[in-house]
Chain A
Amino acid sequence: MATSAIGQQRAHAAPAHGEKTGLWSWITTVDHKRIGILYGSTAFLFFLMGGIEALIMRLQLVKPDNTLVGPERFNELFTMHGTTMIFLAIMPISSMFFNYMIPLQIGARDVAFPRLNAFSYWVFLAGGLFLNSSFLFGAAPDQGWFGYANLTSRQFSPGANVDFWMLGLQILGVASLAAAVNFFVTIVNLRAPGMRLMRMPMFVWMSFITQVLLLLAFPVITVALILLMFDRFFGTNFYVPSGGGDPLLWQHLFWIFGHPEVYILILPAFGIISEVLPVFSRKPLFGYAAMVFSGVFIAFLGFGVWAHHMFATGMGPIPDTFFALSTMLIAIPTGVKIFNWLGTVWGGSIQFRVPMYFALAFIAMFIIGGLSGVMHASPPADLQQTDTYFVVAHFHYVMFGGSIFGLTAGAYYWWPKMFGRVLDEKLGKLHFWLMLIGFNLTFFPMHIVGLNGMPRRVYTYPKGLGFEELNQLETIGSLILGFSFVIFLYNIYKTWRAGRNAPADPWNGSTLEWSIPSPPQEWNFAEVPTVHGRDPLWEAKRQRGGQLPEPPHVSGQGIHLPNPSHWPVVAALGILGMMTGVILLPHIGPWGIMAGGAILLFGVFRWAFEPAG
């Protein structure tokens, strides 16, 4: 089997002929693979920042009445931790996989709009830097990632903290929407001949559904943030009760976005483990059609459950009943997915490689998050659970036990394809066990302290409420969890030093990306493949008696590729300039907005009339 070939083949040590190098080639790149790597590396740095923020919080909470960080700093930390992990880590790490893997899995040479893709990345980077620059001005957002009105009004939050958050999210929204349009069109239009919708790899399906969610959910938060911007800068009263506005309006708008956002964060991980489980069970995905339709159903229902975040507002019995039942309904397609993953593993020949460890742990952890989710679906019970550490435990089992474990499975799985190197197995397993143990020590006790009366978002707790012991345990767990990523970093460093060793198909993969060299050449496929089934590579291998020859590197002459362009960067700078202008209102702000707008218009104009190549 091809899996045994790792380490024996040290193929392609030198960069392929014609590979472009240098900083400028990265700034102007429109290659989806390079943009994917940019997304991934940037997002991983933000992930480490968000992790450090979390560790500082855990150190503050290690004992009662601790004074390691004061209340302002703590409020900034939990706000930035949530915002960072959602918008600057999990979403863009998913974007790395969308970028790198969607074209490869559907047999395309790039995404539909390569320059728009570059634009998305640069706008994302601008948004991340804008948000985090607030630390330098001592005005990091401190109102929570959910930014509930009317605490966010000028009266109660006079500083620039909320402004950085609101405008930063607005920038990131532009990046997300542009990327969503791009991947949507890519999946609809650029599939290889024969790849019907019901033959797409499950990762592509889940990515496709994610793009639809992004396209429908982000306009809502955009509008909500614009109303907030008007309240804060131009004296409107959308959320200000003294002027006739309503803080509840914000909660509704925010969660109409916020709940689908949860599925935006988890569906890509669903897709990844639906790739990893079959490959390492050497058995096709169980119940493909049910997996597709349960994904669609989850996304659809995801727009009809938002007010389960608001049971404590006292909406009355009819809305409570509606949102309780719709929330419970969502457990059914989610359960179908879990059972189908089990069905995939069942009867297989499980190959215990690092990606499989993470994928199996994903299932185990996600079940716990799902079950505590069903517990919140009952409003009378949720009135006790909401806004306590029980909820913190729940969503970390979904977002970390789910998304992060899934994305890590994807990282180990696709690392050889992206970098031509198989990550070290021993270090990978060490990373896995530390992460699993650290994760559970950190988050499982939170269920217990939460139900026993510890609210969320408190910078400290008094002695005598019994929270000390389990909080200590959580802090120990979080340090182990943090350390597991040091091992991961060391693994990356070590395998980087060791040089390229990955064959095209190190895992006996079933999808098209494993049919081309690792890493792929710029044009991906020298010849666009024709697809005859759901597991095209397995079928090809069976027809040829088990193994395919290592694909050759080709010269790529005559293959049309888009030219590099620097105009997407210019346009992204324009957006950054405009938002910087808003934060400087009223004095120099208008000039900043006009300058930024002019740069944006100029960039888009030049981009539009640039020769395509």
Chain B
Amino acid sequence: MHLRTAAARRLAGLVPVLCLLALVLVGCSPDHYPQTALRPLSDFAKIGDDIQTTTFKWAVAVFILVEGALVYAIFRFRGKPNDPEPQQIHGNTTIEIIWTVIPALILAAIAVPTVKGIFETNATPPQAGLKVEVVGHQWWWEFRYPDFKVTTANELHIPVGQTVALHMSTMDVVHSFWPPRFAGKRDVFPNRETRLWFKAEKSGEYSGQCAEFCGIQHGRMGFRIVAQSPEEFKAWAGHMQSLVAKPPAAQSEGEKLFLAKGCVGCHSLNAFEAPKGLIGPNLANVGARSYIAAGTLKNTDENLAHWIMNPQSVKKGVLMPNLGINADEAKALVAFLRAHQ
């Protein structure tokens, strides 16, 4: 009995350790993280990932050797206060030269693929593919497809297997465009165009977000990437081209409110030939998007109504003011926006 309790106690003591271990194991697998940079899905991202893997292997080797030597020394050379004085060594030129040269060689082994990777990632895209203009805004992303004269917001549609060339800038402060599965970061500036290209290898919906601190809602400046087969993408672009401005007819309650409450002052409902750099995101296909408010909320009717009534409680500091819209009005607006697919 006594033995059993002792064993049980020992086992109970192990529980937190096991929990911690499980946590760490789960936490270590990149598959646990949809936004991971360690499962690259494009040619561009793989260049960096290969170099990172090489460097990481060297780092682990050096880590084991050097930390091992340190731990060995700590145990091997334990002394007591009354031990005789150890041999007084001031240095050893040969050893010092060796441990200067070996790291230099390891660094050279890292430097070669690094320089190669620098030139590859800075090259112009391997083949002319789809061009997309990316425009950063406080705190959302505008995407424009000059080939199709189509504009959208916070949801970047791209074809799989074609090189996408992003031409990027910002309407306000510096941001950084980061689609981790497809590429590293590229900052966007108000006074120069920066570029990024990649060829997506797998269809699906992925997330990304702004990576340069850009003000109060930097933390809520996400976007989605929808990678589609070229046919699906073509169909999507064609559909977007059909979303053209209709003369305001005030046919529905929602449309009346959209005009009367001033929504139209910042948001366009027109994907085709829409003006660049409006203050608010383009809403031509807002009803079909998976998220609203730049990756902040899932695009449900309830969330959309909540957002329309009180954007400042969802995303404090956002440029969209609380317009004093009541629940009924919000319902009408949601119905109106939901129809914009």
A residues at B contact (CB < 8 Å): 1, 3-4, 70-72, 74-75, 142-144, 148-151, 156, 241-242, 246-248, 281-284, 286-290, 312-314, 316-317, 320-321, 324-325, 328-329, 331-332, 335-336, 338-340, 342-343, 345-352, 360, 363-364, 367-368, 371-372, 374-375, 377-388, 445, 448-449, 451-462, 464-467, 469-470, 473
Contact = CB atoms under 8 A, between A and B. Distances in A.
A290 B97 CA distance: 10
30 contacts: A75-B218, A148-B174, A282-B86, A286-B89, A287-B90, A287-B91, A289-B91, A314-B122, A335-B99, A335-B103, A346-B77, A350-B74, A350-B78, A364-B67, A371-B59, A374-B55, A375-B56, A375-B59, A377-B114, A378-B114, A381-B184, A383-B48, A383-B121, A383-B186, A455-B178, A457-B219, A458-B209, A466-B35, A469-B27, A470-B23
Contacts of A453: 33-37, 180
Contacts of A473: 20, 23, 27
Given A3-B81, A281-B86, A342 B66 contact: yes
B174 A349 contact: no
B207 interface: yes
B324 interface: no
Given A328-B111, A445-B27, A312 B185 contact: yes
Nearest to B76: A346
Given A452-B36, A469-B23, A469-B26, A336 B99 contact: yes
Given A381-B49, A384-B184, A456-B211, 5 more contacts: A1-B82, A312-B187, A335-B103, A367-B70, A383-B185
Nearest to A471: B27
B222 to A, nearest CB: 8
B216 A71 contact: yes
Interface in B264-285: none
Contacts of B194: 313-314
A151 B174 contact: yes
B85 A349 contact: yes
A332 B70 CA distance: 19
A374 B211 CA distance: 21
B317 to A, nearest CB: 7
Nearest to B208: A453
Given A290-B91, A335-B103, A387-B176, A380 B69 contact: no
Interface of B: 20, 23, 26-28, 30, 32-38, 45, 47-49, 51-52, 55-56, 58-59, 62-63, 66-67, 69-70, 73-74, 77-92, 95-96, 99-100, 103-104, 107, 110-111, 113-115, 117-122, 138, 172-174, 176, 178, 180, 183-187, 189-192, 194-195, 207, 209-220, 222, 295-296, 316-317
A445 B180 CA distance: 19
Given A151-B214, A451-B38, A332 B191 contact: no
Contacts of B37: 384-385, 388, 451-453
A307 to B, nearest CB: 13
A332 B86 contact: no
A464 B59 CA distance: 31
Contact of B218 (A458, A462, A467): A458
A328 B103 CA distance: 10
A247 B28 CA distance: 38
A151 B210 CA distance: 14
Given A148-B212, A453-B35, A374 B59 contact: yes
Contacts of A290: 91, 96
A360 B70 contact: yes
Contact of A286 (B36, B90, B222): B90
B257 to A, nearest CB: 29
B90 A284 contact: yes
Q: Interface centre among B79, B173, B178, B222, by most A CB within 10 Å?
A: B173
A156 B139 CA distance: 13
A387 B184 CA distance: 11
Nearest to A149: B174
Contacts of A364: 67, 70
B48 A284 contact: no
Contacts of B67: 364, 367
A351 B79 contact: yes
A284 B45 CA distance: 49
Nearest to B60: A371
A324 B96 contact: no
B51 A384 contact: no
A377 B58 CA distance: 13
Contacts of B214: 151
A343 B297 CA distance: 57
Nearest to A349: B79
Contact of A350 (B79, B189, B216): B79
A381 B52 contact: yes
Contacts of B295: 462
Nearest to A376: B55
Contact of A381 (B55, B73, B138, B180): B55
Given A247-B174, A387-B185, A378 B110 contact: yes
Contact of A379 (B117, B195, B217): B117
Contacts of A349: 77, 79-80, 83-86
A462 to B, nearest CB: 7
A1 B207 CA distance: 64
A437 to B, nearest CB: 12
A288 B114 contact: no
A332 B101 CA distance: 8
B78 A352 contact: yes
Nearest to A74: B219
Contacts of B88: 283-284
A451 B52 CA distance: 11
Nearest to B297: A462
B184 A383 contact: yes
Q: Interface centre among B52, B69, B100, by most A CB within 10 Å?
A: B52
